């Protein structure tokens, strides 16, 4: 039986991977993230299963390869944490391209409505029997313009939801979807005309810090930015400055560019904290969740099943469409 070293394991991961494993593999659940220091824990295993904040740079890939690891199953869609140049010819890298676009799109809307309608403030107030409506005024979404950056599976679902609210939709994507009836515009036009801007694109060299001081300056003062994709799409310092200066109205963030050592863990007793994240969380016009947009029963089930199927295909020598080929990206 093939053995899998499963890094950064959480209780909710184990439930679904154990359910879908059905005796196919022997899985060792490790609480540690995959790093240069923990890569040696994979010694004696045949493959590793990694997540979004696990480290798969050249050093780690070489360490895994030296220990006989030949496959990595990413239990996520994005692969910006993988050095594909280093992996080529050494490790087969698989991903889960679609686990539940509904989960992420619906969370983006939940964040937007929480901030827009001040749900978080109302919840805290009523817990203290404060039923005042002062400073709880929001805005109708109907009739507003939403700009969607990235029109893949998640972006399409998000657009459909926004259309249900009666919103005008603008879209930007270097590779427009032929099957999507939406108004594609330049990034500049989208930033200038949108009341809400939601990011649903992958993190690449081209998209790194695409939201920065210059692009923030093009947005309306009343604009709200939503990011449920990857933290490094946004220059966090520039965003914090823009929010503090009233350059834009608010931000809904499920990801953060320096989240690796913080998100998914309880940091409540830590004294030293990321100064920019502290500022963002302290602002009344910001909602932050800890990379939980994907966290639904349906998504977790699909992630587990697809990850295990990917590994089964590798060990049986079968073709698998979920393998990441450097030449294709």
Provide CB contacts within 8 A for 11, sequence distance 6+: none
Candidate list 75, 107, 230, 257, residue with the active-site label: 230
Those residues whose C-beta lies under 8 Å from the C-beta of residue 168, and which sit 6 or more positions away, are: 143, 144, 145, 146
Is residue 291 part of the annotated active site? The answer reads: yes
φ and ψ at residue 161, rounded to 5 degrees: -65, -45
Residue with tokens 């686990």: 99
HSE of 16, CA atoms in CB hemisphere, 13 A? 19
- Residue whose structure tokens are 């010694």: 43
Using CB atoms within 10 Å of the CB of residue 12, give its burial: 0 to 12 exposed, 13 to 18 middle, 19+ buried: exposed
CA end-to-end distance (rounded Å), the chain: 33
Could you confirm whether 230 is annotated as catalytic?
yes
Q: Which of 291, 312, 319, 328 is catalytic?
A: 291
C-alpha 140/C-alpha 46 separation (Å) is 54
Active site annotation includes 24: no
**List 95, 107, 257, 259, catalytic entry:** 259
**How many C-beta atoms lie closer than 10 Å to residue 70's C-beta?**
14
Residue 146: beta bridge partners? 169, 196
DSSP assignments along 17-54, one per residue: HHHHHTTS-EEEE-SSPP-TTTGGGGTT-SEEEE-TTS
- 225's CB contacts (< 8 A; 6+ apart) are 197, 198, 199, 211, 219, 234, 239, 248, 250, 251, 252
Strand order in the sheet with 26-29: 26-29, 3-6, 47-50, 71-74, 92-94
Catalytic residue ranges = 230, 259, 291
């Amino acid at each position: 039986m093939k053995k899998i070293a499963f890094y950064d394991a959480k209780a909710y991961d184990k439930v679904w991977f154990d359910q879908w494993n059905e005796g196919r593999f022997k899985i060792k659940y490790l609480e540690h993230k995959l790093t240069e220091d923990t890569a040696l824990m994979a010694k004696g295993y045949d493959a590793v299963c990694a997540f979004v904040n696990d480290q798969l740079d050249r050093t780690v890939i070489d360490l895994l390869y030296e220990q006989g690891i030949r496959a990595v199953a990413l239990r996520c869609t994005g692969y910006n944490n993988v050095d594909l140049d280093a992996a080529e010819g050494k490790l087969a890298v698989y991903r889960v391209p679609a686990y539940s676009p509904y989960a992420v799109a619906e969370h983006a809307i939940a964040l937007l409505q929480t901030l827009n309608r001040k749900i978080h403030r109302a919840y805290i107030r009523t817990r203290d029997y404060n039923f005042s409506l002062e400073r709880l005024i929001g805005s109708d979404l109907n009739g507003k313009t939403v700009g969607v950056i990235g029109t893949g599976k998640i972006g399409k679902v998000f657009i459909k939801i926004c259309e249900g609210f009666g919103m005008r939709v603008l879209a930007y994507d270097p590779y427009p979807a032929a099957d999507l009836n939406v108004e594609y515009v330049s990034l500049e036009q989208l930033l200038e005309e949108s009341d809400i801007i939601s990011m649903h694109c992958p993190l690449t060299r081209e998209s790194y810090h695409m939201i920065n001081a210059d692009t923030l300056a093009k947005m309306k003062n009343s604009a709200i930015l939503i990011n449920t994709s990857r933290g490094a799409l946004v220059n966090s310092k520039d965003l914090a400055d823009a929010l503090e200066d009233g350059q834009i109205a608010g931000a809904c963030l499920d990801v953060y560019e320096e989240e690796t050592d913080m998100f998914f863990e309880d940091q409540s007793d830590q004294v030293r904290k990321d100064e920019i994240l502290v500022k963002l969380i302290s602002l009344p016009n910001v909602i932050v969740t800890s990379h939980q947009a994907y966290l639904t029963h349906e998504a977790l089930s699909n992630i587990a099943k697809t990850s295990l199927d990917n590994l089964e295909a590798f060990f049986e020598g079968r073709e698998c469409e979920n393998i990441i080929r450097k030449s294709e990206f």
